[in-house]
Structure 1
Amino acid sequence: MTRWRAVVAGFVLAACSEALVFAWTGRVTLVGGLAGSALAGYLAGGEPADGAWYGLLTAMAWGIVLIPGLVVLSVLTDAPLPFPMEFLLPYLETAGEATVIILLSASLPNVAAGAIGSHARRQDDQSNRSERSSRTSNSDVEEA
């Protein structure tokens, strides 16, 4: 069963952080999507595969909004391509190469960010368990 709250939370973080970056710098980056994917992975649970999946879902949901927005921005304001696309595209010769680079750079980093988020969740869960077990053992010693 899909944990849509994790996807929505990641989407909201991506939208808010990208809006702040755009308001501050006037540029669009892909960093907000990475942060959103990491949050979605964290909220999804401690399995890296789950985190990767929710990172990808968040990236695709955010991309559905971001890509048309970028097209509108580029038509109306002549805005540059998002970082790092603006630096990679001049080295590509065909539309196929550009498509592959755009799709991979929009998905693989988000999958990794989601997996890292779920790994962080696993570490937090393990430290909380060890903290609880040390509290119980301390309270057992105090009762004796």
Structure 2
Amino acid sequence: MTRWRAVAGGFALAACSEALVFAATGRVTLVGGLAGSALAGYLAGEEPAEGAWHGLMSAMAWGIVLIPGLVALSVVTDAPLPFPIEFLLPLLDTAGEATAAILLSASLPNVAAGALGSLTRRRDDTRGRSDEHAGRRPAEGEPEDAR
């Protein structure tokens, strides 16, 4: 089941970070989407598959806003293609190769980032549980509930 709050959190981080990068450099990258996907995966839970799904959902939601924005930007200004696509397209020969490269570069890294976000959540939760257990232990004869 999709956790829409996780997707919204990832979308918000992607939008804010891309806005900051664009304001600072005048360029658009796909790095904000990666950060948003990682956050979405972290918020989704400890399962890498859930993190991957939520990372992809966050990236696709961000892409729905980003792509028309890029088209408008390229019409109004001479904005270059987003990083890393600007470096991939000269290496490709056909429209099919270009389409596949764009779709894969805009989705697979986000899936991996979402899965890594979930694994980070798992590590944080495991570390938190071990910190709880490292605290005071009940004395001999004292019930375990008494702390």
> TM-score w.r.t. structure 2 length?
0.93
Deviations 1:16-46 (A, max 9, x none): 0000000000000000000000000000000
Could you say which residue in structure 2 is the equivalent of 1:115? 115
Structure showing the higher helix proportion among its residues: 1
Distance 1:77 1:142 in 2: 74
Deviations 1:5-24 (A, max 9, x none): 00000000000000000000
The residue identity in structure 2 corresponding to 1:48 is P
Distance 1:143 1:40 in 2: 46
Could you say which residue in structure 2 is the equivalent of 1:102? 102
The residue identity in structure 2 corresponding to 1:97 is E
Distance 2:11 2:53 in 1: 14
The residue identity in structure 1 corresponding to 2:36 is G
SS in 2 for 1:22: helix
Could you say which residue in structure 1 is the equivalent of 2:91? 91
SS in 2 for 1:140: coil
**In the alignment, which of 123, 138, 141 is matched to residue 140 of structure 1?**
138
Shift of 1:83: 0.4
Consecutive unaligned residues of structure 1, counting only runs of 5 or more, are: none
Distance 1:64 1:43 in 2: 21
Distance 2:140 2:35 in 1: 44
> TM-score w.r.t. structure 1 length?
0.95
Root-mean-square deviation (CA, aligned residues, Å) is 1.3
Deviations 1:47-104 (A, max 9, x none): 0000000000001000000000000001100100000111110111111000000000
Shift of 1:143: 8.9
Distance 1:79 1:33 in 2: 19
* Number of aligned positions between the proteins: 142
Q: Quick check: which has more Rg, 1 or 2?
A: 2
The share of aligned pairs that are identical, in percent, is: 76
Could you say which residue in structure 1 is the equivalent of 2:32? 32
